[in-house]
Amino acid sequence: MNPARNNRFDDFFAEEAYVSLKNLFYNYLLRRRAVARSLRDHPGKWILDVGSGLSPMVSDSVRADRVVHCELSLAALRRLKQQKGRGFFVAADAVRLPFRNASFAQIVCSEVLEHIPEDRRAIREMAVALESGGSLILTFPHRRAWYGPDDRFVDHLRRYDLADMVGHLEHEGLEPVEIRKVLGPLEKGTMVAVVSLLFLLRRVRGKKERGETCIPGKINRFLFKWCNRLYCLPAWIDARIFPRRLAAVLLIRAVKPCHQIDISA
């Protein structure tokens, strides 16, 4: 990601209210569940989580000694290391991954590419770091036509049509083998409503200072947790009911083909 750009959710990292609630959001839970279903069991192989921030996508059930969490924000990475304790933590830009070629059997990149100006370069870097036969698992905001205030609020540079993302992956030599709906149109409506509410709270409270957050200071964590868990069900059903063309978030698993070796010579 480009550190010069201001992702307004980054303003919340210093707020305990946000940090303590971030990984309870229904959309994070559903994305993590979808990624877990796409991960393959490769004992002894390495997994890279690109742009993990405070919300890693690789489940804790996966052997921590084979997971590398890669993130541009040092503050987020330090906090994640304190929370998880185990694993490897590398501060790096997704467009300049500091790993040897073919280092990983699987790479996870969830809700990251839309923040990166050079998104195709990031895909190329991940393709190079992936071993032959390995998988790149991506989730991304779907439908360019749905780009709106909620995207601008979190500094999305773009949304993707499925054909665009497939084309980017194939251009870097990756073969999409799995496409899955993660969240449906209910997700888009929910995020527009949440962002509108945040703006309203900010106006009501008269918070005009630049960069000041508007999360209520005291939120019942237990209530928030279970409201989001319950909301997972209608959000999951919504994604199942509506056709893929109306999905708000899609997952693609793309494989790096094994090199063909000519043994006839």
Structure tokens at 144: 């360019």
Which residue in 73, 34, 26, 32 sits closest to 54, CA to CA?
73
Is residue 107 within 8 A of residue 48, CB to CB? The reply is: yes
Q: Residue 252: which residues within 8 A CB-CB, separation 6 or more? A: 137, 138, 139, 140, 165, 166, 169, 176, 178, 179, 180
Q: Tens-of-pLDDT digits for all 265 residues of the chain?
A: 444 444 444 454 445 556 667 789 999 999 999 999 999 888 789 999 999 888 889 877 667 778 999 998 888 888 888 888 778 999 999 999 999 999 999 999 999 999 999 999 999 999 999 999 999 999 999 999 999 999 998 889 999 999 999 999 999 999 999 999 999 999 999 999 988 887 887 777 665 455 554 554 455 778 889 999 999 999 999 999 999 999 999 999 999 998 644 333 3
For residue 221, the model assigns a pLDDT of 78
Predicted TM-score (pTM) of this structure: 0.86
Give phi and psi for 136, each to the nearest 5.
-105, 125
Is residue 30 within 8 A of residue 51, CB to CB? The reply is: no
What does the buried/exposed string (b/e) look like for 43-82 if buried means 16 or more CB atoms within 10 Å of the residue's CB?
eeebbbbbbbbbbbbbeeebeeebbbbbbbbeebbebbee
CA pair distance 222, 24, nearest whole angstrom = 10
Neighbours of 96 (CB within 10 A): 11
Is residue 252 within 8 A of residue 123, CB to CB? The reply is: no
Give phi and psi for 178, each to the nearest 5.
-150, 130
For residue 202, the model assigns a pLDDT of 73
Cα diameter, the chain? 76
